[in-house]
């Protein structure tokens, strides 16, 4: 079992959580400044952010989950493209809300145009993000022999089971499946502890 070297689990978690914290700080500061800034446009913008606050949090959590699954080794990273594709849909919903707010403040009709266009864009973006995510996973699997030859890549734990007394069978026994599952959990926990130690 091998981890993605480009996006470590600890690095993804720290970067995504930093983004969420920065979002929270931005919202709090923007609301505090409403007591000092008298611009109607600014107050309208702050109200817009407050109205879509939970949508922004949802998008941040979805991207966090997609990043964490993407940092896992195959096959645990398979849900990442699906989660990221749903996150792209929510991002488009937020963009539509921005156009709606622009229409309210400036009197334009951009929202109606992009609302009709969204029926074509949303499924197209969803499929593109989904396909590109799984293409990236397949590309990494295709390049796996080169990664195995890289001396800088370290395998956390590897174990083989040999039993000459039992007859050879194509199926795996429950003991073998349980052993592989325990080995997978050990690799995940051990790698996560290593990433935390690197940050300190």
Q: Is the pLDDT of residue 28 over 90?
A: yes
Confidence of residue 191 (pLDDT cuts 50, 70, 90): low
Q: Is the pLDDT of residue 153 over 50?
A: no
Task: Give how far Cα 120 sits from Cα of 12, 62, 125, 167, Å.
Answer: 32, 23, 9, 57
All residues at 6 or more sequence positions from 132 whose CB lies less than 8 Å from its CB, including other chains = 81
Average pLDDT over residues 74-97: 88
Average pLDDT over residues 8-19: 81
CA dist 7 and 70 (Å) reads 8
Q: Where are the alpha helices (DSSP H) in the chain?
A: 9-33, 40-51, 53-71, 79-106, 110-142, 144-148, 174-199
Stated pTM of the model: 0.61
Q: Could you tell me if 60 and 19 are in contact, meaning their C-beta atoms sit under 8 angstroms apart?
A: yes
Could you tell me which residue, 127 or 112, shows the higher pLDDT? 127
CA dist 10 and 4 (Å) reads 12
Q: Is the pLDDT of residue 12 over 50?
A: yes
């Amino acid at each position: 079992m091998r981890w993605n070297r480009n996006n470590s689990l600890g690095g993804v978690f720290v970067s995504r959580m930093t983004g969420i914290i920065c979002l929270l700080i931005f919202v709090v500061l923007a609301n505090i400044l409403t007591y000092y800034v008298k611009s109607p446009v600014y107050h309208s913008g702050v109200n817009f952010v407050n109205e879509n606050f939970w949508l922004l949090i949802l998008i941040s959590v979805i991207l966090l989950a997609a990043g964490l699954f993407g940092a896992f080794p195959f096959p645990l990273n398979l849900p990442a493209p699906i989660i990221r594709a749903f996150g792209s849909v929510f991002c488009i919903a937020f963009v539509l809300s921005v156009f709606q707010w622009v229409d309210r403040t400036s009197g334009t009709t951009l929202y109606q145009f992009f609302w009709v266009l969204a029926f074509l864009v949303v499924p197209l973006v969803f499929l593109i993000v989904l396909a590109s995510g799984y293409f990236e996973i397949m590309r990494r699997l295709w390049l796996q022999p080169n990664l195995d030859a890289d001396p800088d890549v370290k395998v956390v734990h590897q174990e083989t089971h040999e039993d000459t007394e039992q007859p050879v069978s194509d199926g795996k026994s429950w003991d073998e499946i349980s052993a592989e599952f325990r080995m997978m959990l050990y690799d995940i926990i051990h790698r996560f502890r290593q990433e935390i130690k690197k940050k300190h």
